[in-house]
Structure 1
Amino acid sequence: MSSLTSSKLNPDAAVSRHVIPAGEPWVGEVKAGQTVRLLDLEGNQAVDTLFYGVANPKERYDPQRTLRRQGNVYLTTGSVLYSNLGRPMLTIVADTCGRHDTLGGACAQESNTVRYALDKLHMHACRDNFLCGCLHDGRLAKGDIGANINFFMNVPVTPEGGLTFEDGISGAGKYVELRAEMDVIVLISNCPQLNNPCNGYNPTPAEVLIWD
Structure 2
Amino acid sequence: MSLPPIKPELLLWTEEIPGGTHWSGVVRRGTTLRFTDLEGRANVALILFNAEEKLERYNMPDTLKTQHIAHLTAGHALHSDMGRVMASIPADSLGWHDPIVGPIDDATVAKKYGTCTYQEARNGMFRSARTGLLIELGKVGLGKKDLGPTLNLFSKVLADDAGALHFDAAHRKAGARIDLRMEMTCLVALSAAPHALDPSPVYAPGPVRIECWRSGTAGPDDRCRLSRPENARGFTNTERYYAC
2:127 is matched with which residue?
124
Pick closer, same or farther for the CA change 1:194–1:12 going to 2, 3 Å: farther
| 1: CA distance, partners of 2:49 / 2:69 | 22
Retained in 2: the 8 A contact 1:44–1:200? no
Q: Which residue identity lines up with residue 91 of structure 1 in the other structure?
A: S
Is 1:146–2:148 an aligned residue pair? yes
The CA deviation string for residues 177-207 of structure 1, in whole angstroms up to 9 with x for no partner, is 0111110111010114698337985212111
The structure 1 residue matched to 2:13, chosen from 12, 16, 21, is 16
1:99 is matched with which residue?
96
Is 1:59–2:56 an aligned residue pair? yes
Retained in 1: the 8 A contact 2:77–2:85? yes
1:40 is matched with which residue?
37
Name the SS of the counterpart of 1:93 in structure 2.
Answer: strand
- With structure 1 as the length reference, what TM-score do the two structures score? 0.87
Cα distance, 1:10 vs structure 2:
3.5
The CA deviation string for residues 136-185 of structure 1, in whole angstroms up to 9 with x for no partner, is 3x242221111000000121111222211230512111111011111011
1:1-212 equivalences under 5 Å are: 4-10=1-7, 13-112=10-109, 116=111, 123-136=126-139, 138-192=140-194, 196-197=198-199, 202-212=204-214
CA RMSD across the alignment: 2.5
Unaligned runs of 5+ in 2: 118-125, 215-244
| 2: CA distance, partners of 1:86 / 1:153 | 26
Pick closer, same or farther for the CA change 1:207–1:118 going to 2, 3 Å: closer
201-210 vs 14-23, which moves further: 201-210
| 2: CA distance, partners of 1:166 / 1:160 | 17
44-53 vs 192-201, which moves further: 192-201
Q: Give identity over the alignment, percent.
A: 30
| 2: CA distance, partners of 1:163 / 1:10 | 40
Q: Alignment length, in residue pairs?
A: 206
Retained in 1: the 8 A contact 2:28–2:186? yes
Cα distance, 1:19 vs structure 2:
0.6
| 1: CA distance, partners of 2:133 / 2:184 | 22
Pick closer, same or farther for the CA change 1:120–1:85 going to 2, 3 Å: same
Pick closer, same or farther for the CA change 1:35–1:158 going to 2, 3 Å: same
Retained in 2: the 8 A contact 1:53–1:185? yes
Retained in 2: the 8 A contact 1:124–1:193? no
| 1: CA distance, partners of 2:39 / 2:27 | 24
Question: Which of the two has higher C-alpha Rg?
Answer: 2
Judging by fraction of residues, say which structure has more helix.
Answer: 2
Cα distance, 1:118 vs structure 2:
10
